[in-house]
């Protein structure tokens, strides 16, 4: 396997991001056909740790965080050809290194990824709630 270089807050283009999502398992749960949404996801994230093999994006951990209390890991995507190589673990570890000592790493896992996160030491929390944008807040 070729050498992987990890970078913090390196610029990632919409096409590089979309291509990685397609080469990972996240494309089915992300708006890969909506370039404007993908651009906003990249532009407004607080922290991005990326993995590169030469000039090809092979992994990304994209987060929204205050760096002190909570870090929501929005995306962890690794090219299927690089999975099970420690790339995802390294992306998570480098994300954690950017955070303050009390900052929790929080994510919503795809059902198939539950055992992966548990294996890394994440604790399952059943208190997550999700409200789709087109649902009005109840009065």
Predicted pLDDT of residue 21:
95
Domain locations in the chain? 5-108
Predicted pLDDT of residue 23:
95
Strands 5-8 and 104-107: unpaired
d(CA 95, CA 47) in angstroms, rounded, equals 8
What's the CA angle centered on 77, arms 37 and 125, to 5 degrees? 95
Whether the CB-CB separation of 82 and 59 falls below 8 Å is answered with yes
Burial bucket for residue 2 (CB in 10 Å: 0-12, 13-18, 19+): exposed
Q: Is the pLDDT of residue 27 over 90?
A: no
Predicted pLDDT of residue 1:
55
Q: Is the pLDDT of residue 37 over 80?
A: yes
| Structural domain 5-108, CATH architecture | 3-Layer(aba) Sandwich (3.40)
pTM: 0.91
pLDDT, mean of residues 111-126: 86
pLDDT, mean of residues 7-18: 97
């Amino acid at each position: 396997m070729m050498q992987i270089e990890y970078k913090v807050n390196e610029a990632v283009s919409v096409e590089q991001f979309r291509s990685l999502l397609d080469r990972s398992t996240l494309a089915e749960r992300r708006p890969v056909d909506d370039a404007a949404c993908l651009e906003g996801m990249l532009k407004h994230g607080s922290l991005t740790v990326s993995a590169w093999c030469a000039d090809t994006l092979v992994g990304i951990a994209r987060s929204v965080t205050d760096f002190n209390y909570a870090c929501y890991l929005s995306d962890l995507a690794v090219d299927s050809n690089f999975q099970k190589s420690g790339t995802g673990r390294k992306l998570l570890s480098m994300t954690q290194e950017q955070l303050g000592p009390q900052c929790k790493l929080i994510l919503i896992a795809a059902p198939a990824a539950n055992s992966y996160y548990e294996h890394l030491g994440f604790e399952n929390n059943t208190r997550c709630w999700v409200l789709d944008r087109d649902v009005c807040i109840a009065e």
